[in-house]
Amino acid sequence: MRLANIFRLGVKELRSLAADPVLVFLILYTFTYAIYAVASGANFEVSNAAVAVVDDDRSALSLRLRDAVLPPQFASVVELTAPEADAALDAGDAVFVLHIPSGFEADLLRGRDATLLLDIDATAMTQAGNGAAYLQSIIAREISAAAGRDDGMTGDLPIDLVVRSRFNPNLSSVWFNAVMQVINNVTMLSVILAGAALIREREHGTIEHLLVMPVRPAEIMAAKIWANGSVIVVASVLSLIGMVQGVLAVPIHGSLLLYTAGAVLYQFSVTALGILLATIARSMPQFGLLVIPVIVTMNLLSGSSTPLESMPVWLQKVMMLSPATHFVAFSQAVLYRGAGLDVVWPTLAILAGIGFGIFAIALARFRRKIVEMG
């Protein structure tokens, strides 16, 4: 391959992209407002959860338990009767209903077994799981204080457990969502731009012009990869600096230069994947329908939305073939934990190997398509 041909064809791709206002707007929107909206709107922590109390005890302890449930995790506690509480759960007006039975405080002070009932609307999974843990902690603390204990526990433990959360001490979902949304958008736009560039050439008839020029299929494909990939890499780095660090105030612990190097390797594979999909589709609508399940699968199962370790073992092995899985692991190590090249170089090597494999398959398909068109 001649580098001069690749460079000139890449410049042509950049000019074609700049002349398309829809794609320019899509890139700007995806790496600005879309990052902010997802990071600040899709929160996983408990916030303003609705809590109702059925208080049959009417004791000082029951009032103390009600007063201990406070914002911002929970909304103001509403007292209901048992039938009203069931109706509130059915209607979705309450996520948690705490039933305090009659004689609860008296049984507790006399050393008898005392029971509390906490009904949870588990359709709201995030609030149900995290909120239940918060409420159990609150109840245990208040009961311990009422019983004259000061350790916040209802039983004796042989250890003193101290929990420290590293890299995200406040457990803020904004820190996680912001960076992972940038990574997901890199995958989405890389596939779309590279594939759309090839289909646009075919629909506009300019691919025939390239066929009569002294350029090879590999040069045409490499030009599309570096041109579209460079736009996405630059946009993602600027988004990390301006939107993630600047607007959302999310700290980046690692080297942006190392991230950029990994993003370049990742672009090599996902832009080639976009060209591979474009050789299968016959039109832009077909390409769009083909891209949707590919991107959704890569983003949801790459570890950016849910931990890879929580998936079935066979699915983990399958996703090891996806470049998105390794790029997510690389980005989390560098941007979250501040890992250096000595830690992430095996991931980069795997990413490069997968990229060359996808490039070879896409190039074979691309050559076959060019022969058919010729």
Q: Which tokens hold the place of 190?
A: 């890389």
**What pLDDT score does 151 carry?**
45
| pTM, 2 dp | 0.79
pLDDT digits (tens, 9 = 90+) for 174-192: 888 899 999 999 999 999 9
CA gap 374, 372 in Å, rounded: 5
Q: Which of 199-208, 256-265, 334-343 has the lowest mean pLDDT?
A: 199-208
**What pLDDT score does 70 carry?**
87
CA gap 143, 155 in Å, rounded: 11
**What pLDDT score does 157 carry?**
47
Q: Which tokens hold the place of 2?
A: 């001649």
pLDDT digits (tens, 9 = 90+) for 214-230: 778 888 889 889 999 99
How much of the chain, in percent, has pLDDT values that exceed 90?
A: 43
> Closest Cα partner for 191 from 264, 261, 269?
269
**What pLDDT score does 220 carry?**
85
**pLDDT of 257 higher than 60:** yes
Residue, of 162 and 106, whose pLDDT is higher: 106
Which of the residue ranges 28-42, 123-137, 224-238 has the most confident prediction, judged by mean pLDDT?
A: 224-238
pLDDT digits (tens, 9 = 90+) for 296-353: 999 989 988 888 888 899 999 999 999 999 999 999 999 999 999 999 999 999 999 9
Structural domains for the chain: 3-42+172-373 (no CATH), 51-146 (3.40.1710.10)
**What pLDDT score does 153 carry?**
45
pLDDT digits (tens, 9 = 90+) for 4-59: 888 888 898 899 888 888 889 999 999 999 999 988 877 767 778 889 999 999 98
Three-class DSSP category at 248: coil
pLDDT tier at 236 (50, 70, 90 boundaries)? very high
CA gap 41, 178 in Å, rounded: 10
**What pLDDT score does 30 carry?**
93
**What pLDDT score does 123 carry?**
80
Contact (CB, 8 A) for 358 and 273? yes
The average confidence (pLDDT) of the chain is 86
State which amino acid sits at residue 321: L
Q: Which tokens hold the place of 91?
A: 């209607």
Using alpha carbons only, how large is the chain's radius of gyration in Å?
28
Residue, of 258 and 283, whose pLDDT is higher: 258
Number of helical (H) and strand (E) elements in the chain, helices listed first: 15, 4
pLDDT tier at 156 (50, 70, 90 boundaries)? low
| CA angle 131–137–141, rounded 5-degree value | 145
**pLDDT of 71 higher than 70:** yes
Q: Which of 116-130, 178-192, 284-298 has the lowest mean pLDDT?
A: 116-130
